[in-house]
Amino acid sequence: MNEQVEELDPFKISQKQLYNASKLIGLDENIYKALSEPEKIITIKITMKMDNGEIKTFKGFRCQYNSARGPMKGGIRWHPDENESLVKALSAWMTWKCACVSIPLGGAKGGIICNPKELSENELQKLARNYIRKLSGDVGPNIDVPAPDVYTNPQIMAWMMDEYETIIGEHAPSVITGKPVELGGSEGRGVATAKGGNYCIREAAKDIGLDLKDAKVIIQGYGNAGSYAASLLHNEYGCRIIGISDSKGAVFNKEGIEPLKALEHKQKTSSVVGLDGTQQLTNEELLELECDVLIPAALENVITKKNAGSIKAKIVAELANGPTTPDADEILYKNGVIVIPDFLCNAGGVSVSYFEMVQGYYLHFWSEKEVFASLDKIMTKAYRDTVNKAKEYNTNNRMGAYIIAIERVVNAMKLRGWI
Ligand code: GLU
For residue 23, give the 3-state DSSP assignment: helix
Q: 94, 145, 152, 319: which to mutate for ligand 1, most atoms within 8 A of CB? A: 94
Residues 233/196, Cβ–Cβ less than 8 Å = no
CA 197 to CA 164: how far, in whole Å?
Answer: 32
Residues 242/266, Cβ–Cβ less than 8 Å = no
Q: Give me ligand 1 centre to Cα 253, in Å.
A: 32
Q: Domains of the chain, with CATH numbers?
A: 37-172 (3.40.50.10860), 192-345 (3.40.50.720)
Cβ of 75 less than 6 Å from ligand 1? yes
Known catalytic residues? 109
Which pLDDT score, from 0 to 100, does residue 417 have?
98
CA 360 to CA 376: how far, in whole Å?
Answer: 21
List, as own/partner pairs, every contact residues 28-33 make where C-beta atoms lie below 8 angstroms and the sequence separation is at least 24, other chains included: 31/410, 31/413, 31/419
For atom 9 of ligand 1, which residue has the closest CA? 74
Which pLDDT score, from 0 to 100, does residue 314 have?
98
CA 17 to CA 3: how far, in whole Å?
Answer: 17
Q: Give me ligand 1 centre to Cα 363, in Å.
A: 22
The two beta strands, 249-252 and 240-246, are: antiparallel
Q: Give me ligand 1 centre to Cα 350, in Å.
A: 5
CA 17 to CA 29: how far, in whole Å?
Answer: 15
Q: Give me ligand 1 centre to Cα 152, in Å.
A: 11
The candidate with the shortest Cα–Cα distance to 111, out of 151, 162, 138, is 151
Which pLDDT score, from 0 to 100, does residue 2 have?
47
Beta-sheet strands, E only, within 305-363 = 315-317, 338-340
Which pLDDT score, from 0 to 100, does residue 84 have?
97
Cβ of 73 less than 6 Å from ligand 1? yes
Which pLDDT score, from 0 to 100, does residue 89 have?
98
CA 8 to CA 303: how far, in whole Å?
Answer: 11
The candidate with the shortest Cα–Cα distance to 183, out of 173, 168, 172, is 173
pLDDT per residue, tens digit, the chain (419 aa), is 445 789 999 999 999 999 999 999 999 999 999 999 999 999 999 999 999 999 999 999 999 999 999 999 999 999 999 999 999 999 999 999 999 999 999 999 999 999 999 999 999 999 999 999 999 999 999 999 999 999 999 999 999 999 999 999 999 999 999 999 999 999 999 999 999 999 999 999 999 999 999 999 999 999 999 999 999 999 999 999 999 999 999 999 999 999 999 999 999 999 999 999 999 999 999 999 999 999 999 999 999 999 999 999 999 999 999 999 999 999 999 999 999 999 999 999 999 999 999 999 999 999 999 999 999 999 999 999 999 999 999 999 999 999 999 999 999 999 999 99
Cβ of 356 less than 6 Å from ligand 1? no
Cβ of 278 less than 6 Å from ligand 1? no
The candidate with the shortest Cα–Cα distance to 297, out of 319, 312, 268, is 319
Task: Label residue 80 exposed, middle or buried (CB < 10 Å: 0-12, 13-18, 19+).
Answer: exposed
Which pLDDT score, from 0 to 100, does residue 3 have?
57
